[in-house]
C-alpha cells in the first residue's frame, strides 16, 4: 500500500511518475490511497503506463456498481463473487492495464479486489502443459449468458511470453461455463474442454491460496498489468459501492 501527498499530486513530476513506473514494473500493480476526491487519477494512470484509454462497452469509463438485472450473476455489476480472469479475453487486443478508482467503498466491508501474479501459477504447470497452452489457438467469445455476442470474439493462445514475463488470457467462468458472467445458482448446461477445465480448477485453487486481497478505501486507485496479473472480486452487499474502471493500452 502506498500513499501520495497533495503536494506530490499537484506536481506529477517526472521523478514521481518514474518512481511509480518502476513500482508497476516490479510489482505489476500499484495501490495508492490519496484521500483526495480531486486526484487526477486518469492523468496519473496515463502518465505511469504511457498508454491511452481503450473503450469498454463503447465508453472510456465504466461504472462498477449494482445493476438490478445483474445482481445474481458473477459479474462486475452483480453481487456474486467473480472467478479469476484477465480482462477482455474476447477482445482482439485485451487492455495492457486496468485501473479502478474507488468513489465509495462497500459499507459491509466486502467487495475486495483480489490479484495474483500469473508467473507463480505458470510455474506449477508441466512443460507439456505450457507447450499446449502456448501453441493451441482457442476461441474466446460468449455465445450464451448476459454477455453473449458482446464482441465479435477473438482467437488466441492462452499462454505467451513478453520477454521473460508470462502473460495469460484466461477466464475461469468462460472456460468452465462458456459464459463470462454466469449465475452460479442457475448455470446453463455447457461442456468445457476437459484439458482447459482441469487447468481452470487448478488455477482457481492456486488463486485462492496465493491472491492478494485489497479493500480499496475511498479515493484510492488500483492499477495493474492485466496480462500478467489475474484478478477477481469477493462478494459484497451494498448497493452504494461505486468504482470507476478504465482500460489502458
Ligand atoms: Fe474483471
pLDDT of residue 209: 98
Strand-pair category, 53-54 with 242-248: antiparallel
Report the C-alpha gap between 140 and 178 in whole angstroms. 9
| pLDDT digit string, tens, across residues 211-248 | 999 999 999 999 999 999 999 999 999 999 999 999 99
Report the C-alpha gap between 89 and 196 in whole angstroms. 15
Give the number of C-alpha atoms closer than 13 A to the C-alpha of residue 218, restricted to the C-beta side: 9
Instruction: Flag whether pLDDT at 51 surpasses 80.
Output: yes
Q: What is the distance in A from the centroid of ligand 1 to the CA of 31?
A: 16
Q: What is the distance in A from the centroid of ligand 1 to the CA of 85?
A: 6
Q: What is the distance in A from the centroid of ligand 1 to the CA of 246?
A: 11
Give the number of other CB atoms < 10 A from CB of residue 195: 12
| pLDDT digit string, tens, across residues 89-126 | 999 999 999 999 999 999 999 999 999 999 999 999 99
Residue 33: which domain range? 2-248
Strand-pair category, 29-33 with 2-3: parallel
Report the C-alpha gap between 233 and 79 in whole angstroms. 10
| pLDDT digit string, tens, across residues 116-159 | 999 999 999 999 999 999 999 999 998 888 888 888 999 999 99
Q: What is the distance in A from the centroid of ligand 1 to the CA of 125?
A: 24
Q: What is the distance in A from the centroid of ligand 1 to the CA of 7?
A: 32
Instruction: Give the pLDDT band of residue 11 (cuts 50, 70, 90).
Output: confident
Q: What is the distance in A from the centroid of ligand 1 to the CA of 87?
A: 5
How many domains does the chain fold into? Answer: 1
| pLDDT digit string, tens, across residues 153-193 | 999 999 999 999 999 999 999 999 999 999 999 999 999 99
DSSP assignment of the chain: -EE--HHHHHH--HHHHHHHHHHHHHHSEEEEE---TT--HHHHHHHHHT--EE-BTTBS-EEE---GGGTTSSSTTSSSPP--B-TTTTSSS--SEEEEEEEE--TTS---EEEEEHHHHHTTS-HHHHHHHHH--EEE--SSSTTTTSS--EEE-SEEEETTEEEE--BHHHHHHS-SS--TTSPPP----HHHHHHHHHHHHHHHHH-EEE-PPTTEEEEEETTTEEEEE-----TT-EEEEEEE-
Report the C-alpha gap between 222 and 129 in whole angstroms. 32
Residue percentage of the chain with pLDDT more than 70: 96
The environment of the single-atom ion ligand 1, i.e. residues with CB closer than 5 A, is 87
What CATH code is carried by the domain that includes residue 144? 3.60.130.10
pLDDT of residue 10: 59
Amino acid at each position: 500500500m502506498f500513499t501520495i501527498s497533495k503536494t506530490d499530486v499537484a506536481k506529477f513530476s517526472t521523478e514521481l511518475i518514474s518512481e511509480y513506473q518502476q513500482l508497476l514494473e516490479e510489482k505489476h500493480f500499484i495501490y495508492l490511497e490519496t484521500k483526495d476526491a480531486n486526484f487526477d487519477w486518469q492523468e496519473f494512470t496515463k502518465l505511469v503506463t504511457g498508454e491511452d484509454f481503450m473503450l469498454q462497452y463503447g465508453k472510456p469509463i465504466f461504472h462498477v456498481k449494482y445493476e438490478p438485472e445483474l445482481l445474481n450473476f458473477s459479474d462486475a455489476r452483480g453481487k456474486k463473487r467473480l472467478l479469476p480472469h484477465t480482462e477482455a479475453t474476447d477482445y482482439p487486443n485485451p487492455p495492457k492495464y486496468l485501473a479502478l478508482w474507488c468513489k465509495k467503498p462497500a459499507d459491509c466491508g466486502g467487495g475486495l479486489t483480489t490479484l495474483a501474479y500469473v508467473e507463480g501459477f505458470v510455474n506449477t504447470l508441466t512443460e507439456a502443459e505450457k507447450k499446449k497452452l502456448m501453441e493451441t489457438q482457442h476461441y474466446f467469445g460468449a455465445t450464451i449468458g448476459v454477455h453473449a455476442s458482446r464482441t465479435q470474439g477473438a482467437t488466441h493462445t492462452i499462454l505467451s511470453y513478453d520477454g521473460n514475463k508470462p502473460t495469460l488470457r484466461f477466464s475461469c467462468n468462460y472456460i468452465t461455463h462458456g459464459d463470462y458472467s454466469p449465475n452460479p445458482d442457475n448455470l446453463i448446461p455447457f461442456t468445457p474442454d476437459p484439458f482447459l477445465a482441469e487447468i481452470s480448477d487448478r488455477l482457481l485453487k492456486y488463486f485462492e491460496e496465493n491472491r492478494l486481497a485489497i479493500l480499496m478505501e475511498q479515493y484510492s486507485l488500483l492499477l495493474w498489468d492485466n496480462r500478467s496479473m489475474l484478478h477477481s472480486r469477493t462478494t459484497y452487499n451494498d448497493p452504494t459501492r461505486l468504482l470507476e474502471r478504465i482500460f489502458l493500452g
